[in-house]
Every structure is written in C-alpha cells, then in structure tokens.
C-alpha cells in the first residue's frame, strides 16, 4: 500500500503562485510514476503533470510553461510549483502514484486550489 498526503492548496489571485506538495509513504519501491491531476466541478479528473522515477516529465498543454513538477531524490515527495495562475486553474488537485508492478493507481485526498480574477 501507498499513502499520499497533499498540502499547500489555498486561494491565490490571478497571476499569483502556489506550491503543492505530496508526501508519500508505504511501498514506494513499486512506484514508477508520480503526478498531479485536477478535477473541476462537473468535469472529469484530468492530468496536470507527471514525473517518472527517472525524472522524465509530462505536462498538460494548458499548464506548460507555468507549472513545474519535481520529485526529491528519495522519490517520496512530489511538488507542483504553479505560477501565473489563472481562474481556470481552480480545481481540486490530487496527488497520484502509479505502481507498474501492481498495475494500480494510488490517490491522495485532494487539496482545493482557488484562483480569483
């Protein structure tokens, strides 16, 4: 099992910045990719950014150049630096860890990000 705990959400003005962090614990040896997803009311959860154990990153087109995902050397913490925030970035952000070994996803409880115009 893997446990994920997010922190750092909150309220920001358009053009501002927020930083999300996710602390992971448990059977991290099985985790290949970690990332962030978000869900707006009435919409499906969507990918924001992912990072592999080798450091490869992938971003949604809507956040490229504004958001940066990073993972610590111990690979137990993943962060999302969000700059130049827009009102459309408002959503609940979820931390994700994917186990290639067990072919399953793990999710955090989610953290609210609200961007005012």
- Characterize the bridge pairing of strands 67-71 and 77-82: antiparallel
Measured CA to CA, the distance from residue 82 to residue 84 in angstroms comes to: 7
Contact between residue 75 and residue 28 where contact means Cβ atoms under 8 Å apart: yes
Please say whether the beta carbons of 35 and 56 come within 8 A.
no
The stretches of 1-117 forming alpha helices (DSSP H) are none
pLDDT in tens, the chain (117 residues): 899 999 999 999 999 999 999 999 988 888 889 999 999 989 999 999 999 988 999 999 999 999 999 998 787 899 999 999 999 999 999 999 999 889 999 999 999 999 999
């Amino acid at each position: 099992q893997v446990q994920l705990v997010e922190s750092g959400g909150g309220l920001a003005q358009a053009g501002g910045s927020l930083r999300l962090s996710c602390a992971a614990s448990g059977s991290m040896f099985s985790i290949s990719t970690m990332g962030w997803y978000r869900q707006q009311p009435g919409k499906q959860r969507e990918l924001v950014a992912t990072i592999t154990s080798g450091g490869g990153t992938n971003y949604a087109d809507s956040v490229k150049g504004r958001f940066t995902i990073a993972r610590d050397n111990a690979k137990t913490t993943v962060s999302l630096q969000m700059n130049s925030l827009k009102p459309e970035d408002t959503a609940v952000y979820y931390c994700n860890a994917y186990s290639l070994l067990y072919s399953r996803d793990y999710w955090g409880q989610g953290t609210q990000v609200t961007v005012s115009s």
